[in-house]
């Protein structure tokens, strides 16, 4: 079946992407490669949600295993069950990766949690967070990055790079499974003869 061949390819592609998401999120929990910021809860909120670990990571790996599993059986009922199973896994990845993409986008846009030397002295806050709607986003103003945070060291670049990686990886997961969902739906509607260029009643 076409959906089975496509599913195996998608499943194999999702595995390294899911691992990248998990590693990126784990690194976000340890800015400057120090664990005390995590134990003191001085880590960006979106990183603490761990959407790259459980959503675009573990859930996607579960779906990838489902995509790569295939049973050599024939028949109309098996065909229907197999396609529906793949559709379910595709929907799971779309929801999980979409959630991770949104969370990562929020973390990237609002900037890191860090020790900032402001008007009230040293304080843990998000100094680069956009306060007013018309305010220029810090991503387009690199001159602010170096002076924004006293510690963790280099946390601005750390967050920008890792949240960008998470967005790119989860976005790729979303696109792969959205395309696979369309393929599976088409095969489900056309029946098992879809890949042989002839339509057979499902």
Which tens digits make up the pLDDT trace of 24-53? Answer: 999 999 999 999 999 999 999 999 999 999
Contact 159, 107 (CB under 8 A): yes
Q: Is residue 202 part of a domain?
A: no
* Confidence label for 201 from pLDDT (cuts 50, 70 and 90): very low
The count of domains in the chain is 1
Residues of the domain holding 68: 2-193
Q: What is the pLDDT of residue 186?
A: 85
Residue 156 has pLDDT above 60, yes or no: yes
Q: What is the pLDDT of residue 132?
A: 85
Q: Which of 33, 13, 19, 67 is nearest to 165 (CA)?
A: 19
Q: Is residue 32 part of a domain?
A: yes
Tell the residue number behind the tokens 């929801």, with chain if given: 95
187 membership: H or E segment, kind and range:
helix 155-190
Question: Residue 77, Cβ neighbours under 10 Å: how many?
Answer: 9
* Confidence label for 4 from pLDDT (cuts 50, 70 and 90): low
Q: Is the full-model pTM beyond 0.75?
A: yes
Q: Is residue 82 part of a domain?
A: yes
* Confidence label for 3 from pLDDT (cuts 50, 70 and 90): low
């Amino acid at each position: 079946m076409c959906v089975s061949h496509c599913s195996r390819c998608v499943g194999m592609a999702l595995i390294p992407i899911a691992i990248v998401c998990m590693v990126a999120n784990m690194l976000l929990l340890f800015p400057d490669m120090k664990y005390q910021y995590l134990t003191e809860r001085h880590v960006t909120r979106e990183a603490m949600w761990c959407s790259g670990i459980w959503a675009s990571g573990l859930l996607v790996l579960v779906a990838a295993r489902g995509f790569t599993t295939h049973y050599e059986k024939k028949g109309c009922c098996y065909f229907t069950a197999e396609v529906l199973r793949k559709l379910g896994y595709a929907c799971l990845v779309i929801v999980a990766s979409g959630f991770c993409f949104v969370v990562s986008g929020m973390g990237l846009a609002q900037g890191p949690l860090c020790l900032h030397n402001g008007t009230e002295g040293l304080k843990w806050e998000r100094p680069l967070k956009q306060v007013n709607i018309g305010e220029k986003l810090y991503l387009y103003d690199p001159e602010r990055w170096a002076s924004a945070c006293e510690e963790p060291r280099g946390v601005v670049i750390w967050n920008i790079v890792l949240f960008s990686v998470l967005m790119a990886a989860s976005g790729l997961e979303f696109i792969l499974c959205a395309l696979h969902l369309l393929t599976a739906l088409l095969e489900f509607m056309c029946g098992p003869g879809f890949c042989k260029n002839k339509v057979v009643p499902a």
